[in-house]
Amino acid sequence: MHLDPQNIREIDLFRDLSSGELDKILPVVHPVKIFEGERLIREGDTSQTLYIIISGNYLVYFKDGRSFTLHKKGDMIGWSTIASPFTYHESAVALTDGEALIIPIEEFLYLMQLDSDLGNKITKRVTETVRQRKAFVNETRNETRTEKK
């Protein structure tokens, strides 16, 4: 995939960024090919890479057996990369071949620290994703607890 500010702007995480901010982001974003069955992240590991889906189908799952699938362009895998305590909260595996953008966390955090405005915009988007996923996780956990009682 060829990366330029125009097609990177189509990704939800970068939608609010200005042209100047996109130019800063571009060098830390790397396109990669993902193959069927490839494990992207493992729950409990130190989070080092954020994945943004371009194409393909992915299964995100938790140790207790719950899971959901992702396939939309711009969906994030490994959001905990930019949140304390910097460990993955879920595991993810590719169900089909696909493409993704990877962002190494060190470069990304450094960039966000250098430019607080850019950092705020990214954090806002990530928080939205976390909010959606947390709702899913908490709801399921509460129900599991109730069933056990």
Partner 1 sequence: MKGFEAIAFYNGWNISVTGVLIVFTALCTLSFIISQLHKVLIIIENKDKYIKKAKNLFSRPKKTGLRHKIRASRNFNESARQFHLLIQSMKDPFSLPKLIMLAKKVDIARPYSTVHELLATKLIVPDGKGYYFWDQDAYKKFLVKE
Residues lying near partner 1 in the complex (CB under 8 A): 33, 36-37, 57, 59, 61-62, 65-69, 91, 93-96, 136, 139-140, 143
DSSP 100: E
**Closer to partner 1 at the Cβ: 18 or 142?**
142
Distance of closest approach, residue 141 Cβ to partner 1, in angstroms = 10
Q: Please state the φ and ψ torsions of residue 108, each to the nearest 5 degrees.
A: -65, -45
Cα distance between residue 5 and residue 92, in whole Å: 28
Distance of closest approach, residue 49 Cβ to partner 1, in angstroms = 19
**Closer to partner 1 at the Cβ: 50 or 92?**
92
**Maximum C-alpha span of the chain:** 55
Residue 9: its H or E element: helix 5-9
Distance of closest approach, residue 119 Cβ to partner 1, in angstroms = 29
Q: Count other C-beta atoms under 10 Å from residue 53's C-beta.
A: 24
Helical segments of 47-115, H only? 105-114
**Closer to partner 1 at the Cβ: 114 or 135?**
135
**Closer to partner 1 at the Cβ: 63 or 131?**
63
